[in-house]
A = this chain, B = another copy of it.
Amino acid sequence: MYSIGQLSKQTGVTVRTLDYYDEINLITPSSKTSGGHRLYDEDNVMKLQQVLALKYMGFSLEQIKMSLRDSANTWQQSINEQIEMVHQEKERLNMLEKALQGISYSIEFEGEMNWSIVFNIIQLFQKGPEHVFQPHDEHLSQEDIQKMMQFNNQMTEEDIEEWMSSIQAIQANIDIDPASTKARELAERWMTLADNIFDHDEELLGNMWQSMEQKESTDDKGIAFYPMDQKFIAFIKEVYIAHHEGE
């Protein structure tokens, strides 16, 4: 028989927690002293371990109480439901992490918090790209957007970093002569990356490019393809023209 303090020391659980578990009838001490002090036996200790295990698994105390009361409880199902929940939460965190990464990069580029970009990134990861791109875009089919999503999800953090780095390099040199060698190198690096990211799907790339060109001229700020703005696209085009004509 242990006092509440001894049990606390033995298991690392605070006295207050044990107090609380008694209060909600989760773990009630098997007996008490004449003065009202709680006494826990081995069964109580076992049950506490079980509670701690289930708590670690992510169950609420209410669920734990019911599960342990029901001897006919179907653990298999409960556990599998928990796995599903964990899976979903992991998905959410993956989205969130990507959104935060994007926001971090955007701050790096702009030097400050650009809220309209932040809103856009969050929308992108909250509702998926279809809501951001879809409205009235005749160049991108549902299928194209599906593909984009897939490729986008497959991008590793390194891919994103390289992609952003390439764009940043161009933004830093946006005013150099499009006919120069450096301009060609920058544009080529960007195009190669785009080609790799979209797995050499020329059709999809073509559709995206057309969509981008149009978006830039009509849309508010063309943020959907952040951080490539109108100037950026114009630059790429000029480089292409300059070096195409030069040959």
Residues of A within 8 A of B (CB): 46, 49-50, 53, 56-58, 75-76, 79-80, 82-83, 86-87, 89-90, 93-94, 96-97, 99-101, 103-104, 107-108, 112-113, 115, 118-119, 122, 126
Pick the residue among B79, B103, B115 that contacts A79 (CB under 8 A): B103
Chain B residues whose CB sits within 8 angstroms of the CB of A58 once the complex forms: 96
Chain B residues whose CB sits within 8 angstroms of the CB of A108 once the complex forms: 76
List, sorted by A's number, 17 A–B pairs whose CB atoms are closer than 8 Å: A49-B119, A56-B96, A57-B99, A75-B107, A75-B113, A76-B104, A76-B108, A79-B104, A79-B107, A80-B104, A83-B97, A83-B100, A86-B97, A86-B100, A90-B90, A90-B94, A90-B97
Chain B residues whose CB sits within 8 angstroms of the CB of A107 once the complex forms: 75-76, 79
Best-buried of A57, A80, A86 by chain B (most CB within 10 Å): A86
> From residue A90, how far is it (CB to closest CB) to chain B in Å?
5
Contact B83 A87 (CB under 8 A): no
> With A75-B107, A108-B76 given, is the CB distance from A53 to B100 under 8 Å?
no
> From residue A25, how far is it (CB to closest CB) to chain B in Å?
21
| Distance A71 CA – B156 CA, assembled complex (angstroms) | 33
> From residue A68, how far is it (CB to closest CB) to chain B in Å?
10
How many copies of this chain? Answer: 2
Pick the residue among B46, B49, B82, B118 that contacts A100 (CB under 8 A): B82
Chain B residues whose CB sits within 8 angstroms of the CB of A93 once the complex forms: 86, 89-90, 93
| Distance A76 CA – B99 CA, assembled complex (angstroms) | 14
| Distance A57 CA – B113 CA, assembled complex (angstroms) | 14
Pick the residue among B53, B79, B87, B94 that contacts A122 (CB under 8 A): B53
Contact B79 A100 (CB under 8 A): yes
| Distance A92 CA – B79 CA, assembled complex (angstroms) | 17
6 further interface pairs, Cβ-Cβ under 8 Å (given A56-B96, A76-B104, A79-B104):
A53-B115, A57-B103, A76-B108, A79-B100, A82-B100, A83-B97
> From residue A12, how far is it (CB to closest CB) to chain B in Å?
12
Pick the residue among B53, B96, B113 that contacts A118 (CB under 8 A): B53
Chain B residues whose CB sits within 8 angstroms of the CB of A94 once the complex forms: 90
| Distance A58 CA – B96 CA, assembled complex (angstroms) | 9
Chain B residues whose CB sits within 8 angstroms of the CB of A86 once the complex forms: 93, 96-97, 100
